[in-house]
Structure 1
Amino acid sequence: MPYRRLPNTDSARIRALKSAVDKAADTDFQELSFSMGILDEAKSALTHFEHLSARYQQLYDTQVKAGKSFVGKTKNARMYISHFMQVLYMCVMRSEIKEEQLTLYGLEKANMVVPDLTSNEQLLEWGQKIIDGENQRTSQGGVPIYNPSIAKVKVMFILFREGYQTQRLHQKATSRVLQEVAAYRERVDEIILEIWEEVEKHNNGLSPEKRLARNREYGIVYYYRKGEIAE
């Protein structure tokens, strides 16, 4: 015998509700296989859940699009900050900059090695330290480092920082709506289950073949176990 299984994706949940609502629209209310009360709930749930799902997809697509742009900004910022540190170290080795001035950049304990810039948070931290350190050193009469200049590094850093902040906003908005979707799924599943229970009960007196066919018209999905033959 086939067995039914509630939808396990949001698109399947929407299809299930749509099937029941559309079938009801084409059926005289006296012949409807489930109650008008649950039909009203199904219509309301369908509208709300479709809106939530569409909103989540829109926010997710926006986040993904912004994420692709952010990858480039992150790569540029990491490259310029790392390069600036390497040039700074070469200036120290050539005695063009005093080694003790590395303290201005927070690099006094780095052993002339570029710090880990793998994470966004590390990039934010060291980018700001490098900019502040170079500005402080040059304000004390030091000769600015060129190729890259701190002005160019700052441009790349600001683009990265703004992209990082924007990405976090997108992630928060997407996560918030996803939580709303997840919270409402339980009610949607309850409504679908109520419809299916009422439909199967209403059509229970029909022959197996007619019963399954009529139930499927209301969106009930049946599965066959391995080796079973579909009726």
Structure 2
Amino acid sequence: MPYRRLPNTDQARMRAIETALEKGKRIAMKELAFSLQSLEKMQFLYPRLTAAIRQLNAAKQNQFDKSREYGETFKRAKLYISHFIQVMTFAIIREEIKPEARAFYGLEVNSQKIPAINLEKDVLEWGEKIISGEQKRCMHGGSPIYSPSIALVKVHYESFIDAYRHQMMLQNITNRASEQITQVREEADQLIQQVWNEIETRYSNLPDELKREKATDYGVTYFYRPAELKKMEADKLQTNLF
């Protein structure tokens, strides 16, 4: 026996509701296989589901469109911060800057190790430390580092900060849209199940095959299990032999 399966995608949910709504337009209420209450619920839910899907898709697309630009901004900030630390380290090796100066930047004094700057949080942390540290070192009489200068590092760091905040805002918009559509999906699934139950109940006095045919016309979907499909194919092949 085939089993009924509720929609599991937004497109399938839309089709299920659209099919039932179309029946509600074309068939007299007394002939309709589901209740007026269910029809009114679908008429109220359908535009909400449509809007929620549209908002989520728009939010995802907007975030995707900005992601490449954001990635480039992130790479530049990471590059300039890392390069500044390397230049400062080489200056220490050449004895142009004292090793103790590393403390201004939050670096270990007795190590030439350059911190790993791979993630956004690394750029946020070390960008602030390097900019603040260079200012402190210069205030204590140190000569500014060039190629890159801290001013150039700061430009790219602040560009990243702006892009990061904007990307987080877009992510929050996407998250809110996801939460909203999750709620509407739950309502849609419950309503579709209710409508399909009413349809099957309406035709419950009919033979199974005819009942499924009538229900399918209303958008109810049925699926055969793999074993059933194999048996049907075997039976069909056996029939063809005779």
Scaled by the length of structure 2, the TM-score of the pair is 0.88
Q: For residue 199 of structure 1, what is the aligned residue in structure 2?
A: 199
Question: Following superposition, which runs of at least 4 residues in structure 1 exceed 6 angstroms of deviation?
Answer: none
Counterpart check, 1:103 vs 2:117: no
1:183 matched residue in structure 2: 183
Alpha-carbon separation, structure 2, partners of 1:21 and 1:130: 63
For residue 110 of structure 1, report the CA deviation from its aligned partner. 7.0
Q: Deviations over 1:138-177 (max 9, x none)?
A: 2344222111111221111111111111111111221122
| Alignment-derived partner of residue 154 in structure 2 | 154
For 2:39, give the aligned amino acid.
L
In the alignment, the residues of structure 2 paired with residue 30 and residue 152 of structure 1 have an alpha-carbon distance, to the nearest angstrom, of: 76
**Unaligned runs of at least 5 residues, structure 2:** 234-242
After TM superposition, list the pairs within 5 Å mapping 1:5-154 onto structure 2.
5-109=5-109, 111-154=111-154
Letter in 2 for 1:189: D
Q: In the comparison of the two structures, how many residue pairs are matched?
A: 230
CA distance in 2, matches of 1:28, 1:109: 85
Is 1:211 aligned to 2:211, yes or no? Answer: yes
Q: Take 1:220 and 1:36, find their aligned partners in 2: how far apart are those partners?
A: 18
Paired residues of 2:21 and 2:42 also in contact (CA < 8 A)? yes
Contact (CA 8 Å) 2:48, 2:184: kept in 1 or not?
A: no
Identity %: 36
For residues 17-69 of structure 1, the C-alpha deviation after alignment (integer angstroms, 9 at most, x for no partner) is 11111221122222111111110001111111111121111111112222222
Partners of 2:45 and 2:9 lie apart in 1 by 15
> Is 2:3 the partner of 1:3?
yes
Q: Secondary structure at the match of 1:75?
A: helix
One-letter code of the match for 2:74?
A: T
Which residue identity is paired with 2:134? E
SS state at 1:115 partner: coil
Which residue is 2:240 aligned to? none
Tell me the alpha carbon deviations over residues 198-221 of structure 1, each in whole angstroms, 9 at most, x when there is no partner.
111112334444432321121111
* 1:138 alignment partner AA: C
CA distance in 1, matches of 2:143, 2:79: 22
Instruction: Give, as a single letter, the amino acid of the residue that structure 2 aligns with 1:129.
Output: K
- Counterpart CA distance in 1 for 2:150 and 2:77 is 12
Residue type of the alignment partner of 2:111: N
Unaligned runs of 5+ in 1: none
Q: Give CA-to-partner distance per residue, 1:61-95, whole Å, 9 cap, x none.
A: 11222222211111111111111100000011111
RMSD: 1.8
Question: 8 Å contact 1:45–1:188 — kept in the other structure?
Answer: yes
